[in-house]
Amino acid sequence: MMKEIEVKVLNIDPCSMEKKLITLGAVKVKDEKQINMIFDTKDYYLDRSSNGYARIRVTEDKLRNRQDKIFTLKKNITTDGVRENKEHNMELADDELMVQILIGLGYELKHTGKKHRISYELEGILYEIDIWDNDTYPYPYMEIEVNREEDIDRAVELLGIDRGNITTKSIQQLRKELALDND
């Protein structure tokens, strides 16, 4: 199990944010193309019970020239100041078989989204610039992921981020706000 502490920064310009990170000495640690398949029950049990979901992610890692397939069960713990999640991850040999297993267990494929993610690390803080396909979410944003909640303030100050652009909302919540979630 992995614990994740993060916020999203909305209204970013990916190019200028990337330049700012590079100028500060951040190291590029990821350049990925992802396919994210989100699963839940017909009545959205995972979403309703824990603002969570099941996900199969297929990642083309351009820096390491490899493909990864990961199944994740993600549950939200809190959104008080930061978004804290518990993730249970498992590597997959066959993502299509996992799709069939989930369907056999009563889960439905709710959404498939494609994303380009570029990630930088600076002073132990992970900055992930996400650009989704327009049907999933038409606006780029950046996730800031830290090990300790108090590091969020430091991360925001390092980049001079307007706190009005910070949110703890999930991608599903952002999609619902734009009426992109058709279910």
CATH of the domain at 144: 2.40.320.10
Does residue 183 carry a pLDDT above 70? no
Q: Distance between CA 7 and CA 83 in Å, rounded?
A: 6
Neighbouring C-alpha atoms within 13 Å toward the C-beta of 97: 6
The answer to the question of residue 132 being in a domain is: yes
Q: What is the value of pTM for the model shown?
A: 0.93
Does residue 1 carry a pLDDT above 90? no
Q: Percentage of the chain with pLDDT > 90?
A: 90
User: By C-alpha distance, which of 132, 125, 91, 90 is closest to 111?
Assistant: 132
Q: What confidence score (pLDDT) does residue 60 get?
A: 98
The secondary structure element, H or E, covering residue 76 is strand 66-78
Q: Distance between CA 118 and CA 59 in Å, rounded?
A: 12
Tell me the pLDDT tens digit for each residue of 47-94.
999 989 999 999 999 999 999 999 999 999 988 888 999 999 999 999
Q: Distance between CA 22 and CA 108 in Å, rounded?
A: 41
Cα 113 to Cα 1, 135, 156, 182: the distances in Å are 24, 8, 28, 14
Q: What confidence score (pLDDT) does residue 11 get?
A: 97
The answer to the question of residue 35 being in a domain is: yes
Tell me the pLDDT tens digit for each residue of 8-43.
999 999 999 999 999 999 999 999 999 999 999 999
Q: What confidence score (pLDDT) does residue 182 get?
A: 61
Q: What confidence score (pLDDT) does residue 101 get?
A: 98
Q: Are 82 and 7 in contact (CB under 8 A)?
A: yes
Domain of 161, in residue numbers: 2-177
The answer to the question of residue 183 being in a domain is: no
**Confidence band of 169 (pLDDT split at 50, 70, 90):** very high
The answer to the question of residue 182 being in a domain is: no
Total structural domains in the chain? 1
The answer to the question of residue 96 being in a domain is: yes
The answer to the question of residue 55 being in a domain is: yes
Number of residues that this document lists for the chain: 183
**Confidence band of 181 (pLDDT split at 50, 70, 90):** confident
Q: Tokens standing for 35?
A: 């396919």
Does residue 129 carry a pLDDT above 70? yes
Which positions ≥6 away from 144 have C-beta within 8 Å?
Answer: 6, 7, 8, 9, 125, 126, 127, 128, 152, 155, 156
Under DSSP, is residue 158 helix (H, G, I), strand (E, B) or coil?
helix
Q: What confidence score (pLDDT) does residue 52 get?
A: 92
The answer to the question of residue 171 being in a domain is: yes
Under DSSP, is residue 56 helix (H, G, I), strand (E, B) or coil?
strand
The answer to the question of residue 42 being in a domain is: yes
